[in-house]
Chains A and B, each alone.
Chain A
Amino acid sequence: MNLFTSSIITTLLMLTMPIILTSASTHKNKSYPQYVKTTVSYAFMISTIPMVMFLYSGQEVIISNWHWMTIQTLKLTLSFKLDYFSMIFMPVALFVTWSIMEFSIWYMHTDLNISHFFKYLLMFLITMMILVTANNLLQLFIGWEGVGIMSFLLIGWWYGRADANTAALQAVLYNRIGDVGFIMAMAWFLLNTNAWDFQQIFAIEHENLNIPLAGLLLAATGKSAQFGLHPWLPSAMEGPTPVSALLHSSTMVVAGVFLLIRFYPLMEHNKTIQTATLCLGAMTTLFTAACALTQNDIKKIIAFSTSSQLGLMIVTIGINQPHLAFLHICTHAFFKAMLFMCSGSIIHSLNDEQDIRKMGGLFKALPLTTTALIIGVLALTGMPFLTGFYSKDLIIETANTSYTNAWALLTTLVATSMTAAYSTRIVFFVLLGQPRFNPVIIINENNPLLINSIKRLLLGSIFAGYLIFHNITPTTIPQTTMPYYLKMMALAVTMLGFILALELNSTTQTLKLDYPQNPFKFSIQLGYFPIIIHRLLPMMSLSMSQKMASMLLDTTWLENVLPKSISYFQMKSSITVSNQKGLIKLYFLSFMITLVLSFFVLNFHE
């Protein structure tokens, strides 16, 4: 027992403090957001202690402290797994959240419920921490669902808007589809290994792991917005910008990738699932990159780029490099959060304008945001010696040199090239050229809350990759030599993307307007996905539930077969059987007979 466990517990407990305190004080405190931000920053500082200790000594710890219950042979405890992944991820997530919280004090300052908002953000972070540090499947599931529900609340923050509510519901729906996979995996592990603890699951030899791993892959597909279950991610842009930043950088969407990374001891021996993962990731990264190419909403472009990067991470898991995928999660968090904050700064300055066609020439008006945006974009494309380079370049190199299917590799390379293209498009439309916005707008980025938070992430986007890359222990044997063209491949496709996009952007200014081509329509309609899936399926299932479940079965068949028919036959048969037919005239006439008879009998008695 040393500083390691105690500082981790301190970090986790500290985060819960603001939530516990607000339930005690009923009055709204003005400085609550500031307080939450400071708590997170302290939590970050404390969490670096165990990280450094971990990097120095490499000790992994499992804290198992509260026995929840034992059901038959299954023991469930509150336990934390503090290994490579959770130790590195916690400081990164806390650092990024710290900056985002500082940013949202500025961004949300007009909101009346800002304390409430911060509480949600903090709970979102806490559930993510639970997810990352969990040592058994149930605890992981608590974090997993908690993240999903908190995202529902945060995306639907502006609850008066129908769009926000729809987007929030969409997020939960797609995540819930993934959850089914998770529950299936839990059930399978319980039945076959009789354990939910990771150590026990990994220790047992298995023959066929296709079912649980497919379940986990489905779960990751839902949470990390992979192809098929991706539409919620761009829709989630309806939430406030800080939420998008937090959602897309270090929490929620990387949870799916993280789950697969956690289960790599099982995945690395299963070729079927690996191939499925690889193909899924490759498809996602290409598809979403293609969608990003034509979007006009700045937040949507960045959202699609997140989705594309998530696809890349899944590809990395598919080629059996979980540690590399994890590295990309960490580096991606910095520049993606910063990109969202830059877009938030621009949107705020331009009076809530999100369309990049109505921006332009901002590099003079917003110098710091411009700097940050360009660096973020370059880091995203993997420009050498920025943060993204250390993971992205390595991923492409490893994919190039590994035994993998050429289709997936080619798809990934094309997507990488597209990353550069849409990045150029953002820079070209937002920063360069003539201003196309309303001249009355007063642009101001001189708030220290904004500047400091962006600066901090800016430093992270430049140096974090280097720092993380040089301090972690190598886990897989690196490729020592490779051909020159393979080494330069990642850079070359990126440059190609840059040049193509720049050229195209410049020439389109002079071209005359043409009827949109089919690929363009495919891209701007998001691959016709929302039109088909979001209209057809709900319409079918809802009309099924109305017509079949409700009208046909419930109110017609079940109602008629049992109660109605019984009462009908009862009535009919009672009418048939009974003597009384309602023939009043006849009945009264029958009195006549009696009367006449009695008349005769009585009169003629003598």
Chain B
Amino acid sequence: MLKIIFPTMMLVPLTWASKPNMIWINTTAYSLLISLISLTYLNQLSDNSLNFSLLFFTDSLSAPLLTLTTWLLPLMLMASQFHLSKETLTRKKLYITMLVLLQLFLIMTFSAMELILFYILFEATLVPTLVIITRWGNQTERLNAGLYFLFYTLVGSLPLLIALLHTQNNLGSLNFLLMQYWIQPLPNSWSSMFLWLACMMAFMVKMPLYGLHLWLPKAHVEAPIAGSMVLAAVLLKLGGYGMMRITTLLSPLTSFMAYPFMMLSLWGMIMTSSICLRQTDLKSLIAYSSVSHMALVIVAVLIQTPWSYMGATALMIAHGLTSSLLFCLANSNYERTHSRTMILARGLQTLLPLMAAWWLLASLTNLSLPPTINLIGELFVVVATFSWSNITITLMGTNIIITALYSLYMLITTQRGKCTNHVKSIKPSFTRENALMALHLLPLLLLSLNPKMILGPIY
């Protein structure tokens, strides 16, 4: 594990010691190398996990998320170059340091073996994210967004700390590997219900569950590009990952406690995707689409069958790459038209044909075209919910239709139609941007050749 953590730490001195014209190249190349090292974790030879030390381990559930995290840092660095081009050198270095810190915390969160360690690191990720949003966002609303982000997640996760302390007291250990052997079924009482709520709400807020999702569109819209990318791609997945890990603690209660949350997710999925149909703001649309996709993950995790877990894991990885790609595309539009309003960027296909191809592929993966991993994830979730209750197919089906509609609505509004006059003097797309999109799409397409890699533990 240290072979990832130490290089990541050393990225900080690398940033500060680099020559002014080399800071982006050095950090990007170096972090790309780190992500190549982390690819080895994907190769989980047996059902057992890879235990690195008493503190860190990875198994087939956390390894894909870990790799996604490391893969995303070079992409974030590539994406933010233009955004920061007018800043001073020190600020650039500070910004990169923040991103590196965030990656460091995320890596350790995904590989933590102790629940308390997991909790601390889970909270620690808030700090760099908050700084990224409130310091480098573009408008004054970023402060409000930062407040929402911080308070929603903090209020949600503080009860988890108490619940963890209680469990530690009862069980004597919060080690993931030991826990699954030591755990006793929870008694059917009011206090166990509160324990369940305390454990789950932290992650439900992070996911976010419909009703507790207000922080997400705000944070996404106001955050700079790297912030949006990492929020959509990795931070939301912390919620799903945490839920999957902690449900082992709460064993008989979930099947009963899940109902209100299932209902809320199924309902919210449709609500949020229909909000997407009326969005004029590109980033807000993508943010709401994330909420709707994450609702699927919540449903899948709460059902707790092997198929639904596989679907949830696949969907998390697929959505991570897709939504990050969509944010990058939105950002490339923003850098040219200086507006997030979709209608101002219409007809771009004529001017930027290659970018239009990326848009097309991104929209298609977002509406889960077979055989991408998005479809694998969604299909497994649909199958799992169908077996849970046949009627859910109507809600799932409605969501599938609306998802296709808003993805293509986004594509048509931004790319198709007549070119407007004010965009005629825009810059062509840079190689950097094209490479960025390709690096998002490549894993998406290659993973569909062997989706087993990201299905999590195959029972």
Contact = CB atoms under 8 A, between A and B. Distances in A.
A321 to B, nearest CB: 31
A544 B270 CA distance: 11
Interface stretch (B18-26, B74-82, B131-139, B451-459): B451-459
A248 to B, nearest CB: 22
A541 interface: yes
Interface in A154-199: 156, 159-160, 162, 165, 168-169, 172-173, 176-177, 179-180, 183-184, 186-188, 190-191
B458 A72 contact: yes
A64 interface: no
Contact of B401 (A142, A173, A542, A550): A173
B194 interface: no
A559 B214 contact: yes
Given A172-B404, A176-B401, A545-B278, A188 B386 contact: yes
A546 interface: yes
A152 interface: yes
A563 interface: yes
A156 B408 CA distance: 12
A241 to B, nearest CB: 20
B404 A191 contact: no
A176 B404 contact: yes
Nearest to A144: B370
B386 A187 contact: yes
Contact of A169 (B397, B405, B417, B418): B405
Nearest to A162: B417
A156 B412 CA distance: 9
A183 B382 contact: yes
A204 interface: no
Contacts of A61: none
Given A184-B393, A186-B379, A179 B459 contact: no
Interface in A111-144: 138, 141-142
B275 A549 contact: yes
B332 to A, nearest CB: 19
Contact of B400 (A159, A176, A549, A563): A176
B409 interface: yes
B33 interface: no
A177 B401 contact: yes
Given A553-B271, A559-B214, A183 B369 contact: no
B262 to A, nearest CB: 17
Contact of B387 (A187, A211, A559): A187
A69 B450 contact: yes
Contacts of B400: 176, 179-180, 183
A558 interface: yes
A149 interface: yes
Contact of A180 (B151, B349, B370, B401): B401
A548 B275 CA distance: 9
Nearest to A74: B307
Contacts of B408: 152, 168-169, 172
B278 A550 contact: yes
A545 B416 contact: no
B370 A138 contact: yes
A187 B404 contact: no
B383 A186 contact: yes
A60 interface: no
A542 B272 CA distance: 12
Given A180-B397, A184-B397, A191-B386, A169 B275 contact: no
A549 B274 contact: yes
Contacts of B382: 183, 187
Interface string A533-562: 000000001101110111001100011001
Nearest to A191: B387
B453 to A, nearest CB: 10
Interface string B438-459: 0000000000001110010011
Contact of A173 (B274, B396, B404): B404
A182 B390 CA distance: 14
A159 B411 CA distance: 11
Interface string B399-423: 0110011001100100111100000
A141 B214 contact: no
A145 interface: yes
Nearest to B418: A160
B222 to A, nearest CB: 15
A71 interface: yes
Interface string B100-118: 0000000000000000000
A159 B416 contact: yes
A574 to B, nearest CB: 16
B418 A71 contact: no
Interface in B177-224: 211-214
B310 interface: yes
A187 B148 CA distance: 39
A553 B272 CA distance: 10
A549 B399 CA distance: 14
A506 to B, nearest CB: 45
Given A138-B370, A545-B274, A563 B148 contact: yes
Contacts of B417: 159-160, 162, 165
Nearest to A189: B383
A391 B1 CA distance: 69
A489 to B, nearest CB: 41
Interface in B351-366: 360, 364
With a 10 A CB-CB cut-off, give which of B369, B397, B452, B458 has the most chain A CB atoms: B397
Interface string B127-158: 00000000000000000000010011000000
Contacts of B371: 138, 142
B277 interface: yes
Nearest to A156: B416
Contacts of A159: 349, 415-417
A149 B393 CA distance: 23
Contacts of B396: 180, 183
Given A69-B451, A180-B400, A554-B214, A165 B275 contact: no
A183 B151 CA distance: 40
B242 interface: no
Contacts of B151: 563
Contacts of B415: 159
A545 B275 contact: yes
Contact of B306 (A72, A138, A541, A558): A72
10 contacts: A142-B371, A159-B416, A172-B408, A173-B404, A180-B397, A183-B400, A191-B386, A191-B387, A211-B390, A563-B152
Interface of A: 69, 71-72, 138, 141-142, 145-146, 149, 152-153, 156, 159-160, 162, 165, 168-169, 172-173, 176-177, 179-180, 183-184, 186-188, 190-191, 211, 541-542, 544-546, 548-550, 553-554, 558-559, 562-563
Given A146-B370, A180-B400, A558-B213, 9 more contacts: A69-B452, A149-B369, A152-B408, A169-B412, A173-B404, A191-B383, A542-B278, A545-B275, A549-B278
The 9 A-B residue pairs whose C-beta atoms are closest, nearest first, are A180-B397, A545-B274, A187-B386, A159-B416, A142-B370, A549-B271, A187-B383, A176-B404, A546-B278
